[in-house]
Amino acid sequence: MSILLAERAGSFGDRTAIIAPEGTFTYRQLLDASARVASFLLNGSLDLEERPVAFLAPPGFQHVAVQWGIWRAGGIAVPLSLSHPRPELDYVIGDASPVAVIAHPDVSDPLLAVARDRGLRFAHGTDILEHPLEALPPVVTSRQAMILYTSGTTGRPKGVVISHDTLAAQITSLIRAWEWTENDRILEFLPLHHIHGIVNVVSCALWAGAVCEILPAFNAWKVWDRIRRGRLTLFMAVPTIYVKLIDAWVRSSPADRKDMSDGCRKMRLMVSGSAALPVSTLEKWREVSGHVLLERYGMTEIGMALSNPLHGKRLPGCVGVPLPGVEVRLTDEAGAAVAPDIPGEIAVRGRTVFSGYWRRPEETRKAFRSGWFMTGDVAVCENGVYRILGRSQVDIIKTGGEKISALEIEEALRTHPDIRECAVVGVPDPVWGERVCAAVVLEAGRCLDTDSLRVWLKQRLASYKVPRETVSLEALPRNAMGKPIKPAVKMIFQHPDGRL
């Protein structure tokens, strides 16, 4: 039913849909532009019949028009990452096997080379927006709509296939939970090859008939400038962005800080997701903005599954309760539901869950158990509210017979006055199974040694949770959504250089 985005847009007519670097565009103009894209892709055929089309464009009107055009031609949209070098673009193109590749002229060079090498039809997005209109096919909602490639923090990315029905379920669940209306206005600066930007921001806004203002990239000062000018009603970001906004606020004059904070207080909702939100960041942002960030939990394969309430108390460190239309349970290693207050792996089912991995039936089969998608994330449900403990393969460390949450240790480390950021990992150890190791980024001008840090942590954590090794970094390795790349952090501990 995401194809209903186009049907719904018809009822919004000349209302403003998108404000982007290219200008201001109405819903009618979006429909016209996407129809021209679809007409180009059809190239005289009646229907793309669920064949993929890959595209690369900076965030903006063209990005949305091309994605909608692929859908309206009956194709599967494969949005590509602006941050990927040619080898990674080549991998995704090879895996998706698209019938055509579209790119914005400003970012087209590496993709044009890939398309030529593979003998694929290629076009610039600016050209096809002027293509003559042709008849478009009816698109049933059970069709595949999109392939999103996972971030690849634990291996080569897999293509997550999402149908139009699934997209519609994801969108309407959030519309209902967060009470989107046509009077809303949101600022978009998140990568548009991720579900956070595509669904939570752009698609929800356009489904509701709201206004989506798109920045070409995140810049803390430009975001603050937009917030200060008012009229925004919703704001969605990842924890790293909130940290950067806090830093900019701290460096501003008292008068500017007041304007920044006043702009935040005029909004009705501010959301954090895509990575664990440190409690310290939540508390500092509350001081800056007057908002208690609404933390939610989701992933590419399931959309959003859990959310703190729009109205009511939001618990720091928790991700709330199941969203409308989503079933969630916690399971043990055998797949059986665990008792209340017992940690377990998060399992999700419902119309918001993806249909499978692109051309990987065996991996799709392994991802599900009795109809439930196994997320690989571990949580505990306390008084009906879920709290994430970490990734079963990444954030749960098994050392000396004990299971430890890396996120718990990270929360403790962030309260240290000299530590700005951190990432905790388990590194294989012949004696302990895994040893706890921490990579830290220190505040400017600060220094720290391992022994003093261990003494400090032992006053706050059980001794077996205290990192045995610590390394100081200029910055943590992160993916496009700001998540620390923990396999890369693990690799650091194979090299002695830079260790405290």
| pLDDT tens column, 177-198 | 999 999 999 999 999 999 999 9
d(CA 102, CA 69): 11
Instruction: Please tell me whether residues 284 and 420 are part of one structural domain.
Output: no
How far is residue 338 from each of residues 297, 300, 307, 342, measured CA to CA in Å?
Answer: 20, 25, 21, 6
Q: Tell me the whole-structure pTM to 2 decimals.
A: 0.84
Query: Is pLDDT at 327 greater than 80 in this prediction?
Result: yes
Query: Is pLDDT at 291 greater than 50 in this prediction?
Result: yes
Domain housing 409: 396-492
Instruction: Please tell me whether residues 192 and 178 are part of one structural domain.
Output: no
Instruction: Please tell me whether residues 376 and 458 are part of one structural domain.
Output: no
Instruction: Please tell me whether residues 382 and 452 are part of one structural domain.
Output: no
pLDDT of residue 496: 56
Instruction: Please tell me whether residues 191 and 180 are part of one structural domain.
Output: no
pLDDT of residue 152: 43
Instruction: Please tell me whether residues 153 and 285 are part of one structural domain.
Output: no
Instruction: Please tell me whether residues 141 and 246 are part of one structural domain.
Output: no
Instruction: Please tell me whether residues 337 and 422 are part of one structural domain.
Output: no
By percentage, how much of the chain surpasses pLDDT 70? Answer: 96
Confirm whether 406 is domain-assigned: yes
Among 368, 391, 414, the domain-final residue is 391
Q: Which residue has the higher pLDDT, 391 or 34?
A: 34
| pLDDT tens column, 434-455 | 899 999 999 999 998 889 999 9
> Among the ranges 252-256, 277-281, 335-339, which has the highest mean pLDDT value?
252-256
| Ranges 245-254, 302-311, 464-473: which has the least confidence | 464-473
CATH number at residue 443: 3.30.300.30
Confirm whether 211 is domain-assigned: no
The total domain count for the chain is: 3
Instruction: Please tell me whether residues 129 and 194 are part of one structural domain.
Output: no
Confirm whether 99 is domain-assigned: yes
| Beta-carbon contacts of residue 499 (< 8 Å; ≥ 6 apart) | 469, 470, 471, 472
Query: Is pLDDT at 372 greater than 80 in this prediction?
Result: yes
Residue 69 contacts residue 37 (beta carbons within 8 Å): yes
Confirm whether 499 is domain-assigned: no
pLDDT of residue 401: 65
Instruction: Please tell me whether residues 165 and 230 are part of one structural domain.
Output: no
d(CA 89, CA 122): 14
By percentage, how much of the chain surpasses pLDDT 90? Answer: 79
DSSP calls for 108-129 = -HHHHHHHHHHT-EEEEHHHHT
H/E element holding 350? strand 344-350
Confirm whether 212 is domain-assigned: no
Q: What average pLDDT does range 101-128 have in this prediction?
A: 95
CATH number at residue 158: 3.40.50.12780
Confidence band (pLDDT; 50, 70, 90) for 334? Answer: confident
Confirm whether 265 is domain-assigned: yes
